[in-house]
Amino acid sequence: MLEVGVGTGKNIPYYPAEARVTAVDLSERMLLRALRRAMQEGKNVPLCQLDAQALAFPDHCFDAAVATFVFCSVPDPVQGLRELRRVVRPQGRILLLEHVRVNRPGVGRLMDLLNPLVVRVMGANINRNTVANVSRAGLVLERVDDLGPLGVVKLIIARPD
């Protein structure tokens, strides 16, 4: 399995002992923190410094891919999602946990207005339509669950084929 944008490795403790997970992140500092977490957890997780938009892996080489709160900051999210589609085998799964633009006119518009400031301060976009981006990347949506109020946090499960 592939985890993209592993950050400090918060998901690592949840991987079953038998899972073979490779994790990538753009940031060397984050990868060092993830490495420390993996060692504390006694998990062997190969870590690579890679951009989600250009994954240096062969086609269809992973059973699944996971990303949590990553596609808000990838500059071209559709390209990043296309890369997940390419590296996951056709019958595999792509699991995303993302905060997205709220689909209500008032709140959504407010998120659009605040987005440039938030990007400047935190480097993440708050008004991404990640569900639509998943479809734009050619992935097949299997399930979308609202996990937060107003649907701001979504669990998205998609297939490459």
Binding site for ligand SAM (CB under 6 A): 4-7, 10, 25-27, 30, 51-53, 68-70, 73-74
User: Across the strands, what pairs with 71?
Assistant: none
Minimum distance, C-beta of residue 90 to ligand SAM, in the bound complex (Å): 23
Minimum distance, C-beta of residue 104 to ligand SAM, in the bound complex (Å): 24
Cα–Cα distance measured from residue 6 to residue 39, given in angstroms and rounded to the nearest whole number: 15
Task: Determine phi and psi for 116, rounding to 5 degrees.
Answer: -60, -40
Residues 6+ apart with CB under 8 A from 160: 84, 85, 86, 88, 89, 90, 92, 94, 138, 139, 140
Nearer to ligand SAM, 4 or 87 (CB): 4
Nearer to ligand SAM, 69 or 144 (CB): 69
Minimum distance, C-beta of residue 52 to ligand SAM, in the bound complex (Å): 4
Nearer to ligand SAM, 4 or 131 (CB): 4
Minimum distance, C-beta of residue 34 to ligand SAM, in the bound complex (Å): 8
Nearer to ligand SAM, 4 or 94 (CB): 4
Is residue 42 within 8 Å of residue 55, measured between CB atoms? no
Nearer to ligand SAM, 33 or 60 (CB): 33
Nearest-CB residue for ligand SAM: 7
Residues 6+ apart with CB under 8 A from 71: 52, 77, 80, 81, 96, 98, 128, 130, 133
Minimum distance, C-beta of residue 30 to ligand SAM, in the bound complex (Å): 4
CA dihedral sign, ordered 84, 87, 90, 95: negative
Please report where in the chains the tokens 């490795």 appear, as a residue. Answer: 9
